[in-house]
Structure 1
């Protein structure tokens, strides 16, 4: 059982929180789990999840990694941004209904400005997906969003 609920770790709301639990986390890695359930926002007609949703599951695992570290330090969970992914590869077209998926994300690079790179793997019975995700968690999210909005107005 997780120390924290997913809603406490991932800054999404309601049905957008896709992960079920944190299995373990450490200083550089997290392992999460999700069971493909019917009735979600992204289910296909047969109840499966499309394979591309693996990128979002990986990104939410990284958000949970940041959330675990924030909660453990007594800090609030902060908003982060998925900047992009490299080399997403998946050996299936979809994740079948009822399948348990385990996602690992390992931090391979982090700079002082909040940019990071994670090596991610998603596994299930007969399923393997991998990707490298680039993420950004600004030191001051509100200031970043305000400055980004002002920059957009000047374009």
Structure 2
């Protein structure tokens, strides 16, 4: 049974949820959570490393926003169980569809991620979307992997 989307209580600071730090941390906060989905906020900063000449965020960075939302969902579900989330990786997306070339400077984005599948082996897929002012700007099904032994996975990937 899925718990309803919880928006009633404050969530921990985003820095305590996802491993990203500094300018690579693109999410601002968590807005809602349930067993299968998460909604987060992100602000487009005109002086950020990704900003174009108009201070906008190129739409291709949306895949990273989605990946961070997935990481936050996995981490918060683990925290609910009194556990710590295992590290994971973004495997990719068959089709990331950007419905505009960029997200405007100072825009407040809503990033949603809904789990479609999760295997015992650590493979998962999420349906994700980015909205600005209530309008969908990007969407994708994102595939992720949470290996049981992350260090061995990375070392095996690098040495191959």
Q: What's the TM-score once normalised by structure 2's chain length?
A: 0.86
Match of 1:9 in 2: 17
Residue 108 (1) aligns with residue 94 (2): no
Match of 1:49 among 48, 52, 57: 57
Q: Which structure 2 segments of 5+ residues have no match? A: 1-8
Paired residues, what number? 151
Match of 2:35 among 5, 27, 32: 27
Question: Shift of residue 147 of structure 1?
Answer: 4.1
Match of 2:145 in 1: 136
CA RMSD, aligned part only? 1.6
Secondary structure of 2:147's counterpart equals coil
Counterpart Cα distance in 1 of 2:154 and 2:59 = 31
Residue 124 (1) aligns with residue 101 (2): no
Q: Which moved more, 1:36-45 or 1:114-123?
A: 36-45
Q: Which structure 1 segments of 5+ residues have no match? A: none
Match of 1:37 in 2: 45
Q: What's the TM-score once normalised by structure 1's chain length?
A: 0.89
Residue 91 (1) aligns with residue 99 (2): yes
Whether contact under 8 Å (1:32, 1:103) holds in the other structure is: yes
